[in-house]
């Protein structure tokens, strides 16, 4: 009887520990960060659709709907908090009144961390929604560019050409946050997949040319995004954060000489060719900030840094 009681007591103890484990797991906060761009949104195929004087207002609704699909999938997959970062153009495209009320939105463009403002090590995963291929990556990439289409020809981190998806996934890795999902065309899905083993991809269009695509109907695309977002959450522990190589040497090829030259006003920035600069940072986040600062200077230099100032 004594042995039986001891065995039963041990079994009861194990059951209690098991209950505590699953209770703690169910109560755990699971935070997802969604960085949203516009060129890879379902239905988008041409640049004019994203211009304010054209169909832009219609495509703001489509962008918000794709983001909502990712939010829904995230919560279905086990997320308890979702933060959305609007990362296209002036970074105030998503319609807050149409956004899933369970999510919070980072909007506006005066940011130190560009498309990743507010990301830190408290998050459990990164979603890249509405993304596109890099400048020069594929002739079929829909609206392909790297951060600033009128400014940047190519960006290389430690010699490797990088698009926005790869760069942002690498920076997230610095915080221990894995990139779990990318949505957009088939080109960005392939580019991200090469760098991030296991990442879920929702391909909502097939690239024909930079200004042409074979589009999936938006309703079908949103169902796919929701499904893939949920699947990404459920396999998050199987996808490792990227361990970026440090230090990070960044080469940036600009479109014009004046853009490149003006960035050398930044300490540590070297002009290595007429249109190419180089700098080295000790970590991925610092590299990202300097890269973004160089782009801001380059964009300002496009028309003369003082613009129409007449002092």
Task: List the chain domain ranges.
Answer: 29-147+164-238, 248-301
148 against 230, higher pLDDT: 230
In this prediction, residues 27-39 reach a mean pLDDT of: 93
pLDDT at residue 301 greater than cutoff 60 = yes
Looking at the predicted structure, is the pLDDT value of residue 110 above 60?
A: yes
Kindly tell me if the per-residue pLDDT of 11 is higher than 70: no
Mean pLDDT across the chain: 91
Q: Establish whether 237 is an annotated binding residue.
A: no
How far apart (Å, rounded) are the C-alpha atoms in residues 168 and 2? 61
Residue 33 has pLDDT above 70, yes or no: yes
- Active-site positions? 145
Residue 253 counted as an annotated binding residue: no
**Residue 88 in tokens:** 């296209």
Do domains 29-147+164-238 and 248-301 share one topology? The answer is no
Asked if residue 132 belongs to a known ligand binding site, the reply is yes
Domain 29-147+164-238 has CATH 3.40.50.10780: yes
Residue 25: the pLDDT is 45
**What is the per-residue pLDDT for 4?**
55
Distances 161 to 62, 137, 216, 236, 253 between C-alpha atoms, Å: 30, 8, 29, 26, 11
Encode burial over 251-278: b for 16+ CB neighbours within 10 A, e otherwise. Answer: bbbbbeeebbbbbeeeeebeeeeebbbe
- The answer to whether 97 is annotated as binding is no
Closest CA to 182 of 130, 135, 243, 237: 130
3-state per-residue secondary structure call for 211-278: CEEEECCHHHHHHHHHHHHHHHHHCHHHCCCCCCCCCEEEEEEECCHHHHHHHHHCCCCEEEECCEEE
CATH of the structural domain 248-301, one choice from 3.30.1360.130, 3.30.565.10, 3.40.50.300, 3.30.750.24:
3.30.1360.130
Which pLDDT belongs to residue 137? Answer: 87
- 23, 64, 78, 179, 253 from 71: Cα distances, Å: 24, 10, 11, 15, 35
Evaluate if residue 283 carries a pLDDT over 90.
Answer: yes
What confidence tier does 26 reach under pLDDT thresholds 50, 70, 90?
Answer: very low
């Amino acid at each position: 009887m004594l042995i039986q009681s001891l065995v039963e007591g041990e079994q009861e103890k194990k059951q209690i520990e098991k209950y505590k484990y699953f209770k703690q797991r169910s109560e755990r906060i699971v935070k997802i960060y969604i960085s949203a761009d516009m060129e890879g949104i379902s239905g988008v195929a041409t640049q004019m659709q994203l211009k304010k004087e054209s169909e832009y207002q219609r495509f703001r609704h489509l962008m918000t709907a794709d983001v909502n699909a990712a939010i829904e999938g995230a919560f279905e997959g086990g997320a308890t908090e979702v933060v959305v970062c609007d990362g296209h153009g002036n970074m105030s495209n998503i319609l807050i009144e149409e956004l899933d009320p369970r999510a919070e939105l980072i909007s506006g463009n005066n940011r130190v961390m560009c498309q990743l403002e507010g990301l830190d090590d408290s998050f459990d995963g990164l979603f890249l929604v509405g993304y596109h291929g890099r400048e020069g990556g594929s002739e079929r990439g829909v609206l392909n560019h790297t951060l600033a289409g009128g400014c940047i020809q190519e960006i290389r981190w430690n010699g490797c050409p990088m698009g926005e998806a790869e760069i942002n996934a690498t920076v997230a890795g610095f915080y221990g946050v894995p990139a779990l999902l990318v949505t957009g065309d088939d080109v960005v899905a392939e580019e991200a997949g090469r760098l991030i083993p296991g990442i879920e991809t929702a391909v909502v269009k097939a690239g024909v040319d930079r200004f042409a695509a074979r589009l999936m109907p938006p309703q079908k695309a949103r169902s796919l995004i929701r499904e893939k977002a949920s699947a990404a959450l459920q396999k998050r522990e199987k996808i490792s954060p990227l361990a970026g190589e440090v230090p990070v040497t960044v080469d940036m090829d600009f479109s014009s000489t004046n853009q490149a030259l003006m960035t050398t006003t930044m300490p540590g920035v070297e002009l290595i060719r007429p249109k190419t600069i180089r700098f080295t940072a000790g970590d991925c986040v610092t590299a990202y900030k300097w890269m973004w600062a160089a782009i801001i200077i380059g964009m300002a230099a496009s028309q003369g840094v003082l613009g129409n100032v007449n002092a």
